[in-house]
Amino acid sequence: MPLAMEKDPFGALGCWSTRRPYNLTPRTQLRSCMSDCLFCKIIAGQIPSKKVYEDEKVFVFQDINPQAPVHFLIIPREHIVGLKEATEKDAEIIGYCQLIAAKLGREYKIEDGYRTVLNVGPKSGQSVFHLHLHLIGGRDMTWPPG
């Protein structure tokens, strides 16, 4: 193996498990390669999904079990377990996910009413432990949510 790769395996090769290149910091690369995580596998293309949007920070895809005409999952590329595990360094990406929801809300013409939802912990219904923001819209909503 060339010396450059030994010194900087992530920079040269991308993710060690997927071999996909990343244009991210080494810390983010490590945290984005959680090989047992369903959503990390979706980001890596190892599990198929219906992609809606992606950029260098987030990946957005259709929920497999939609609860409304529009039901997208907005996920950071970086593996963050959930909101209660997040720390101050995650503040920007969590806010960024909300702004991507607003952008998609405009693009998908659901601005007359949509919800962004973070389920936090098993009692809330969180079933995937890679932070994800639900964007749900395109129908009337009830309050309080169930």
Return residues touching ligand 5GP (CB under 6 A): 38, 47, 49, 61-65, 73, 119, 125-128
Q: Which is nearer to ligand 5GP, 13 or 81 (CB)?
A: 81
> In sequence order, what E strands does the chain have?
51-54, 58-62, 70-76, 114-117, 133-137
Residue 73 or residue 136: which is nearer to Zn ion going by CB?
Answer: 73
In angstroms, the CA 119 to CA 127 distance is 9
The active-site residue, picked from 71, 79, 130, 132, is: 132
- Minimum CB separation of residue 47 from Zn ion in Å reads 11
Half-sphere exposure at residue 103, Cβ-oriented, CA atoms within 13 angstroms:
13
Q: Which of 94, 108 has the CB closer to Zn ion?
A: 94
Active site residue 134: no
- Partner from Zn ion, ligand 5GP, none binding residue 142, C-beta < 5-8 Å depending on class: none
- The distance of closest approach from Cβ of residue 11 to ligand 5GP in the complex, given in angstroms and rounded to an integer, is 30
Torsion angle, CA of 30/58/73/104, rounded to 10 degrees? 180
Strand partners, 135: 72, 116
Give CA–CA dist 96/117, Å, rounded: 14
Cβ-based nearer residue to ligand 5GP, 10 or 59:
59
| Chain residue whose CB lies nearest Zn ion | 37
Residue 34 found at the interface with Zn ion (CB under 5 A): yes
Neighbour count for residue 88 (Cβ, 10 Å): 6
Which residues are known to be catalytic? Answer: 132
Question: Contact residues for Zn ion (CB under 5 A)?
Answer: 34, 37, 39-40, 79, 130
